[in-house]
Structure 1
Amino acid sequence: MHSFRTPDGVTLGVEHFGDEAAPLVLLAGSTTMLSWPDPLCEALAHGGRHVVRYDLRDSGTSTTIDPEAPAYTLRDLAADAATLARGLDDRPAHLAGIGVSGMVAQVAALDHPDAFSALTLVGTRPVAPGPVDDDLPDHDTAAMGTLFERAIPDWSDRAAVAEYAAGGAEILGNDPAAARATAERIFDRAPGTEPSVQMANQLGMVFSRLDCTPRWRERLPELAIPTLVVHGRRDPFFPVGNGEALAREIPDARLLVLEQAGTAIPASAADDVATAMLALQTS
């Protein structure tokens, strides 16, 4: 693991795969870098890319101050992505976001077009957390009821946190064993066991407190870089109609639907996603 310090003093935890002289693929965490599975990172590196995944602020080994009251905005997170891309390579990067970091990636590509050459959006939507646009499918009500009615774990108990993540994975259409293992890794990488810090790392709850204005959906037709939209058919959190909307509204975007996936990229789909991303980068 390494770190990158931005000019305004923010430290971003980063991990490198592949040849650092190769074209850069930058993977924004959702909120931690471990939302990008190892097999996908390795497949992209084997495809001739310098892959860097990183933690957003208030997660992983990045700057953590107060996840319950972030003093930054979605635009600041987008600027972090651009700063990191420029600091790692003189050439524009292929930027990818998953879940909430897909929102970061959209805004970063719109606000900093010179920093990016391609865009991949996985399991995300074109509007901020909160009320959804009338034409977009909202969270699946039954699944969210089951998800949020569960007893909150003791966030200082590693085993309880991992079990909670495994249970949530079943509801979200993901692999419980993989989710348990990832939760344990996230727990070990968190800067402390304070409940707010562990919750921010495990659930990305900081986004519910983040200023995500102004809207950006209406600007999506401005995107002029090759774009891949990946979405799980079984995703109950951001149902697949959100990915379909992104693919319609971003010029010439390609849509890849993972028929057996929920909110996460399953290991079985890593090669297919990597192949699509690699083709996008060279198109």
Structure 2
Amino acid sequence: MTTPEKAVRVNGVTLATQAFGDSTDPAVLLVSGAEATMDWWDEEFLARLTAAGRHVIRYDTRDTGRSTVFPIGEPPYTGDDLLLDALGVLDAHGVAAAHVIGVSMGGALAQRLAVLHPERLVTLTLMSTSPDGPGDPGRPDLPPVDEALAQWFAEPRPGPDWADRDAVIAHFLAAEHAFAGRIPVDEERLRATAGRAYDRSPAPAAASNHWRVEGGEPVRARLGEITAPTLVLHGTHDPLFPYGHAEALAREIPGATLVPLAGMGHQMPVPEVWDTVVPALVRHTAPR
């Protein structure tokens, strides 16, 4: 698939975007996780969605890829700005309402979109994510981070030399191994993806700003207000957000459908689960 990038000016920043498929087909907005450029949405995966008649839009969140970046450690924006960025991408592509798919941090943003801007969603899909905000009375505590991943977080680990392409790719690959489940990591595929992301990123270290951003007022207590038909896709061996997080989302969002992804960890959908993920997404985003 080859399609030109479109730089759009929204909410005081410039965001790099790409749209695939026929613009008259149902629009699907992909919202990435923390530190992830839009390259992590695999183009073969996108090709399957467009072949099913979907108009798919992906974009570099601010501080990633070719979008506006800020000084490292000093992000002058909040999670609410990231929310407005997503709406601005829809506006720039002439989309009044979309099927919104968010993964990890993007899943938290997608939940907030569904609660705070319900008119902009046709459906909601949440991947590898967790209820946005702490628990409250009447909701059980969510399962903790897997012990092995907690230990990995605790180990002192210097960051890579961001000017060294190979070192940065190795950095991303190590993280992928730490967050993977029981499906073997395809190092060749991931090296290619990480390389593309690096080559498109004038300041790849800036993506770490995402971890310093205030998320805004939690909306977990309002998940019951979500009216968009909701699909929850979650790896059965996610070490960051164990499967109980997905079960909580499915309980707390009215009418949500939960689909387990056998063996997958905290990851973008890996090819081994596409035969489950793509048909589920096509069914979920079909015209109603």
TM-score, length of structure 1 as denominator length = 0.89
Q: Which is worse superposed, 115-124 or 69-78?
A: 69-78
Residue of 220, 223, 237 corresponding to 2:223: 220
**Residue 169 (structure 2) aligns with:** 162
Alignment of 1:35-114 (within 5 A): 35-114=40-119
Return the letter of the residue paired with 1:237.
L
Asked whether the equivalents of residues 45 and 274 of structure 2 are also in contact (C-alpha less than 8 Å), the reply is: yes
Question: SS state of the match for residue 246, structure 2?
Answer: helix
1:144 aligns with 2:150: yes
Asked whether the equivalents of residues 135 and 220 of structure 2 are also in contact (C-alpha less than 8 Å), the reply is: no
Asked whether the equivalents of residues 172 and 237 of structure 1 are also in contact (C-alpha less than 8 Å), the reply is: yes
Point out where structure 2 has 5 or more consecutive residues left out of the alignment: none
Asked whether the equivalents of residues 147 and 171 of structure 1 are also in contact (C-alpha less than 8 Å), the reply is: no
Return the letter of the residue paired with 1:191.
P
Q: 1:44, CA displacement in angstroms?
A: 0.7
- Between the two proteins, the alignment pairs up a number of residues equal to 273
- Aligned pair in 2 of structure 1 residues 278, 183: CA closer, same or farther (>3 Å)? same
Q: 1:152, CA displacement in angstroms?
A: 2.8
**Residue 179 (structure 1) aligns with:** 190
Q: 1:259, CA displacement in angstroms?
A: 0.8
Question: SS state of the match for residue 168, structure 1?
Answer: helix
Question: SS state of the match for residue 126, structure 2?
Answer: strand
- Aligned pair in 2 of structure 1 residues 258, 7: CA closer, same or farther (>3 Å)? closer
Q: In structure 2, how many angstroms separate the alpha carbons of the residues matched to 1:227 and 1:4?
A: 30
Question: SS state of the match for residue 260, structure 2?
Answer: strand
Asked whether the equivalents of residues 43 and 271 of structure 1 are also in contact (C-alpha less than 8 Å), the reply is: no
Q: In structure 2, how many angstroms separate the alpha carbons of the residues matched to 1:217 and 1:254?
A: 18
- Aligned pair in 2 of structure 1 residues 151, 76: CA closer, same or farther (>3 Å)? closer
**Residue 236 (structure 2) aligns with:** 233
Residue of 270, 273, 276 corresponding to 2:280: 276
Q: 1:50, CA displacement in angstroms?
A: 0.5
- Aligned pair in 2 of structure 1 residues 206, 153: CA closer, same or farther (>3 Å)? same
Asked whether the equivalents of residues 96 and 105 of structure 1 are also in contact (C-alpha less than 8 Å), the reply is: yes
Identity score, percent: 38
Q: In structure 1, how many angstroms separate the alpha carbons of the residues matched to 2:81 and 2:73?
A: 17
RMSD: 2.0
Return the letter of the residue paired with 1:144.
A
Question: SS state of the match for residue 196, structure 2?
Answer: helix
Point out where structure 1 has 5 or more consecutive residues left out of the alignment: none
Residue of 188, 192, 207 corresponding to 2:203: 192
Q: 1:226, CA displacement in angstroms?
A: 0.9
Q: 1:84, CA displacement in angstroms?
A: 1.7
TM-score, length of structure 2 as denominator length = 0.87
